[in-house]
Amino acid sequence: LKLGVMISGRGSNLQALIDACADPGFPAEIVVVISNKADAYGLERARMAGIKAVSFSQKKHSSKEAYEQSIDAELRDMGVELVCLAGYMRILGSDFVKGWIDHMINIHPSLLPAYKGLNTHKRALEDGCRFTGCTVHYVVPDLDSGPIISQAAIPISMDDTNETLADKVLPYEHKLYPYAVKLIAEKRINLINNVVHIKGYED
């Protein structure tokens, strides 16, 4: 399965995907990494792995739509079959999203549908949650709202802070994302009434 990964920053989830794809038995490969920020460290990670890495600046386009059309064209030129959002920090327009419906996934640092959007760990702490987690889900036009593919739940300690919680959750993200890609690549996912069913699922 050919992957296009979209990032904005440090790219640790991208790195997890690069590392997973380095295993010859892993059923996917990254063909292009796209960032909206030219200085994203994730672009370096891609180049170090010998993967095409490009940045697109919205400022160099006449509109958000034109900017996203350029990204779309790059993904299609590279033969991308699944778009993986990995810390891409802009909200994608509905035309772009509709063009990749069922072929674009995202990783989000909360147990969706709780805590869509930003500052998930801070909000979970403020609400006194005892668990948080991370979710890989299909992307639909509504933010962080598509069908859930995989999740990990992580207990919150009394002395956790935003930072300690982010540090606890991140290693689970790095396991969860390659796992979700593998499920898709192996065609083990069925969407029934917008709910993901996984063939041969063992929890």
Catalytic positions, written as ranges:
108
Could you say which of 80, 96, 109, 176 contacts ligand GRF (CB under 6 A)? 109
With contacts defined by CB under 6 A, name the span among 66-74, 101-109, 138-146, 185-193 that binds ligand GRF: 101-109
> Cβ-closest residue to ligand GRF?
87
Q: Which of residues 38-97 bind ligand GRF (CB under 6 A)?
A: 86-87
Could you say which of 108, 111, 115, 138 contacts ligand GRF (CB under 6 A)? 108
Size of the site for ligand GRF (CB under 6 A): 13
| Degrees to nearest 5, angle at CA 13 with 7 and 15 | 95
- Contact, 144 vs 134, CB < 8 A? no
10 touches ligand GRF by CB under 6 A:
yes
- Contact, 108 vs 177, CB < 8 A? no
C-alpha span between 112 and 54 (Å, rounded): 30
Q: Which of residues 171-190 bind ligand GRF (CB under 6 A)?
A: 173
State both tokens at 116. Answer: 């869509």
11 touches ligand GRF by CB under 6 A:
yes
Could you say which of 1, 2, 12, 168 contacts ligand GRF (CB under 6 A)? 12
Burial class of 72 by CB neighbour count within 10 A (0 to 12, 13 to 18, 19+) = middle
C-alpha span between 149 and 134 (Å, rounded): 11
Q: Which residues bind ligand GRF (CB under 6 A)?
A: 7, 9-14, 86-87, 107-109, 173
